[in-house]
C-alpha cells in the first residue's frame, strides 16, 4: 500500500488529499445526527493541511454539520481544510458561514415541500432528513420499508423534477444541477500533480472518476481509496486502487501520509 501511495509524497506542496465523512472519517450509525468523527480526525486533517497543498472533506452532509463536527481544539477548518457539503451544493467559508451554490437557491422551496410530503405517513423507523438543499430518506432502522421509500421518493422526483441519488440504505433528492463529488474533486485538484480521494459509498464514485480523468488529461498521479465495511458496494471496491478497513483504517492511512510527508524517505518502506 505504501508503494501505491508514494506518488502523493513526491511533492506534497502540489498534492491534494480529499476525503468523505460518513463511513470514512466517521462510523456509520443508525441516527445520522449522532455521527461523530473518529477521535483525533480533526487534528489529523489540520496536520495534513500544514503540509499538503489541498486538504478537503467532501460530504453529503450539510456544510454546517461538517463545521460543527470538525470544529473545536485543533479545528480542521481553522487550519485551512476545505469543508464541502451536500455533494458540492454548499461550502463553508473560512469564518464558518455556509455559502450555497447560486443555482440551488430556486429549488429550496421545492425540496422543502418534498421533505414535508415524505414525512407524512412515513413508516415507523423511516427517517426523513431535511438538509436544506436536499432531503434524504433513510430506512436503516426499518429494513422492511425500503420499497415504501423507493416508491415515495420516485413519485416525488416525478412530481418535482428533483434528482434521485442512492446512498447507504437511503435515497436522496437533490436539485438537478451538474454538481457532485466529481465536479468538486476536479475543482480542488486543479493544478495538482498528485491527489487522492478516500470514500466508501456509491456517491464517491464520481470522485474516483474525476481523479482518473485528471490522470488521463493532465498526467496527475492519483489514488482512489475504498474504505471497506460489510455494506460496501462492489462497484466502489472495483474502482479503488487501495482498500482500508473502516474509518480507523482510513485515519491510519491519513496519519501515515502526514508523518511520511514530514520525514524524507519514509515512503520507501514498501
Active site residues: 20
Of 59, 58, 25, residue with least CA distance to 244: 25
Secondary structure class of 177 (helix, strand, coil): coil
Q: State the alpha helices, DSSP H only, in 63-107.
A: 63-69
Backbone angles phi, psi at 61, to 5 degrees: -75, 155
Secondary structure class of 118 (helix, strand, coil): helix
Interatomic CA distance for residues 195 and 94, integer angstroms = 23
Are 100 and 87 within 8 A, CB to CB? no
Cβ within 8 Å of residue 216, ≥6 positions away: none
Amino acid at each position: 500500500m505504501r508503494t501505491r501511495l508514494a506518488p502523493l509524497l513526491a511533492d506534497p506542496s502540489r498534492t491534494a488529499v480529499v476525503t468523505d465523512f460518513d463511513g470514512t472519517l466517521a462510523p456509520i450509525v443508525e441516527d445520522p445526527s449522532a455521527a461523530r468523527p473518529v477521535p483525533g480526525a480533526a487534528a489529523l486533517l489540520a496536520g495534513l493541511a500544514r503540509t499538503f497543498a489541498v486538504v478537503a472533506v467532501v460530504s453529503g452532509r450539510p456544510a454546517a454539520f461538517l463545521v460543527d463536527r470538525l470544529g473545536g481544539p485543533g479545528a480542521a477548518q481553522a487550519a485551512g481544510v476545505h469543508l464541502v457539503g451536500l455533494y458540492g451544493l454548499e461550502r463553508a467559508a473560512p469564518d464558518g458561514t455556509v455559502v450555497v451554490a447560486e443555482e440551488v437557491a430556486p429549488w429550496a422551496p421545492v425540496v422543502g415541500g418534498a421533505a414535508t410530503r415524505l414525512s407524512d405517513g412515513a413508516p415507523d423507523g423511516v427517517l426523513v432528513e431535511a438538509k436544506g438543499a436536499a432531503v434524504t430518506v433513510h430506512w436503516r432502522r426499518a429494513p422492511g420499508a425500503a420499497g415504501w421509500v423507493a416508491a415515495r421518493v420516485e413519485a416525488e422526483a416525478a412530481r418535482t423534477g428533483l434528482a434521485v441519488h442512492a446512498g447507504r440504505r437511503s435515497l436522496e433528492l437533490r436539485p438537478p444541477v451538474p454538481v457532485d463529488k466529481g465536479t468538486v474533486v476536479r475543482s480542488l485538484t486543479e493544478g495538482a500533480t498528485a491527489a487522492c480521494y478516500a470514500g466508501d459509498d456509491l456517491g464517491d464514485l464520481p470522485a474516483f472518476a474525476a481523479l482518473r480523468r485528471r490522470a488521463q488529461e493532465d498526467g496527475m498521479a492519483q489514488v482512489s481509496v475504498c474504505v471497506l465495511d460489510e455494506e460496501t458496494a462492489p462497484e466502489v471496491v472495483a474502482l479503488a486502487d487501495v482498500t482500508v478497513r473502516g474509518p480507523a483504517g482510513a485515519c491510519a492511512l491519513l496519519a501515515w501520509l502526514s508523518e511520511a510527508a514530514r520525514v524524507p524517505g519514509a515512503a520507501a518502506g514498501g
